[in-house]
A and B are shown apart, each in its own frame.
Chain A
Amino acid sequence: MNIHEALEIVSQTHSGMVRSHNEDSVIYDASCGMVVLADGMGGYNAGEVASGIAVSVLATEIKHRLESVRPEDRDDSGEEIGVALLRENVQKANASIYSAAQSQPQYAGMGTTIVAGLFYDNKVAVAHVGDSRMYRLRGETFETITRDHSLLQEQIDGGMISKEDARVSRNKNLVTRAVGIDAEVAVEVNVHEVQIGDIYLLCSDGLNDMVEDEDIGSTLQMLQANLPLAAGQLIEMANDNGGRDNVSVILAKVKGDFAAPRGWLANLLSWFKN
């Protein structure tokens, strides 16, 4: 099955009940199995600009490169191309945002979080910077598969604060990494194997700060047969609970096998591609 048939993807974004601007950006491309979500920060509308640059750089660059390379192949350094593509393009977005910020005073200091997934060969490579998350629903289990780059997460990891206390911490929303605020950025990329029936949720903190993980998970489980309804329901819940921030979600459901074709014919054909 090709990636387009194997994945069902929907996205939705909302500025929430309090903010006047929506500084989140979302994009996806089912034909390459790519999903990208960014939560921008900065004065005026700089957040919108930063997150917009991030998603468009990734979407256009990766789609373009995938016309001539296969993500499951390995490059000269031995790394999977899918992984390298994500990392390099987040760094490209970083350079782009950073230089835009330097050139215009109203964009000074702007930045964005990012969480991006590339599905190929029955796996998903996930790159992220900041506290926008990717969750996975597999059967009855709903959990995050990214770890926030935030002050609170470091405190939890260091044993300084419990998860329950973290919920009422006043240091929420302080990220330790962001795209576009420095000349260089450390991108975290991990690869996860994918199973049929999995549902992946990318979201900005406007969702997980307003709705408990448990409620997000049970909503997804109950409405998994209707992805657009599930996306709308999550946004509605965030807004019903106060909607104090922009809220965005991308849902990707795995409906079939998308193993990369192997064997001499596939390799020959891909040789022609290059």
Chain B
Amino acid sequence: MAAKLILSMDGVVLHEYTLNKERMTIGRKPHNDVAIDNLAVSGEHAAIVTILNDSFLEDMDSTNGVMVNGAPVKKHFLQNNDVIEIGKYKLKYMNEQKGQATAEDFEKTMVLRAPVKTQNVDTTMKTTQVTPPPTHAATGKFEAAPPQAAVAQPSAMPAPAEKPPVPPSAAVRPAALQILSGPNAGRELDLVKNLTTLGKPGVQVAVLTRRPNGYFITHVEGASYPTLNGKMLDEHPHQLSDHNIIELAGIKMEFYFKE
């Protein structure tokens, strides 16, 4: 399913364009794919280059420039729902692929097919296909292989929108450690990172991990294990509860949730 551009002015939708070409031009002259007959628009104002599922907007040195989401740009990697502004005209970029793929298809690695290499008896190329394999892109201008070469293997849809991984910090209760003995007694340590190591490297080290389902302590190295509320732990991770007392390398500390 290809991406679309929705052209509107003053809130009125004028036209919908499908991004089905490698390069679509926007401008005042009628030969443009998106022709906008308005004096504020340059003859050749901007272009959108589409490589498989990614689209890039480029300002073609227009007189009045191009904006995306209110900011002037020369080159922009388009994201779903971006609004391109040319003069008083708005072009909304839509690239949704909802319902096209199951969860299983997320992150599926697929092969971008170059011309099939059949077994060569001698070194001369027998293939008659003309499409250049993608490895020749090193010259700087990437020539997208025409659709027939980009056969997804197996016939799954191209990977849908990537949601950046949700950082665990969003859902986890904030917690801290209070040092109860030794030279740093009284000091408080907020557990803001996913991993916090405690102890002396080479002598005794434990790690406190912060996960979506809580905090855990795990022994890393050392001749003896840390104790939790007086009980010696083993090599497995142990979940921490509010007000647990940890002892490690002779230092006592209290784990608690900050609320």
Residues of A within 8 A of B (CB): 18-20, 39, 41-43, 109, 111, 113, 130-131, 151, 154-155, 157-161, 165, 167-176, 178, 181-184, 205-206, 209-211, 215, 218-219, 222-223, 225-226, 229, 233, 236-237, 240-242, 244-245
Contacts and interface: CB of A to CB of B under 8 A. Distances in A.
B249 to A, nearest CB: 14
A176 B114 contact: yes
A211 B207 contact: no
A244 B106 contact: yes
A42 B107 contact: no
A21 to B, nearest CB: 9
B51 interface: yes
Interface string B95-127: 100000001101111111110111110000000
B129 interface: no
28 contacts: A18-B107, A39-B109, A41-B110, A109-B154, A154-B135, A154-B137, A158-B140, A160-B142, A161-B77, A168-B164, A170-B158, A171-B54, A174-B110, A174-B158, A176-B112, A176-B133, A181-B111, A183-B117, A183-B118, A183-B119, A218-B195, A219-B194, A222-B207, A225-B201, A225-B221, A236-B209, A240-B212, A245-B106
Contact residues on B (Cβ < 8 Å of other chain), bracket: 35 or more
A126 to B, nearest CB: 19
B236 to A, nearest CB: 10
Contact of B211 (A183, A225, A240): A240
B238 to A, nearest CB: 13
B52 A151 contact: yes
A26 B76 CA distance: 40
A240 to B, nearest CB: 6
A209 B137 CA distance: 24
Contact of B79 (A113, A151, A168, A184): A168
A109 B109 CA distance: 13
Contact of B51 (A171, A215, A245): A171
A219 B195 contact: yes
7 nearest A-B residue pairs (beta carbon)? A170-B53, A241-B165, A245-B107, A225-B221, A165-B77, A244-B107, A43-B154
Nearest to A42: B154
A174 B211 contact: no
B161 interface: yes
A245 B118 CA distance: 32
A160 B137 CA distance: 10
Interface of B: 51-54, 56, 77, 79, 95, 103-104, 106-114, 116-120, 133-135, 137-142, 153-154, 158-168, 194-195, 197, 201-202, 205, 207, 209, 211-212, 218-221
Contacts of B194: 215, 219, 237
Contacts of A18: 103-104, 106-107
A131 B153 contact: no
Nearest to B76: A165
B104 A19 contact: yes
Contacts of B201: 225
A170 B159 contact: yes
A229 B112 contact: no
Contacts of A131: 109
Nearest to A210: B165
B153 A181 contact: yes
A77 B161 CA distance: 48
Nearest to A19: B104
Contacts of A240: 168, 211-212
Nearest to A98: B119
Contacts of A159: 140
A168 B201 CA distance: 38
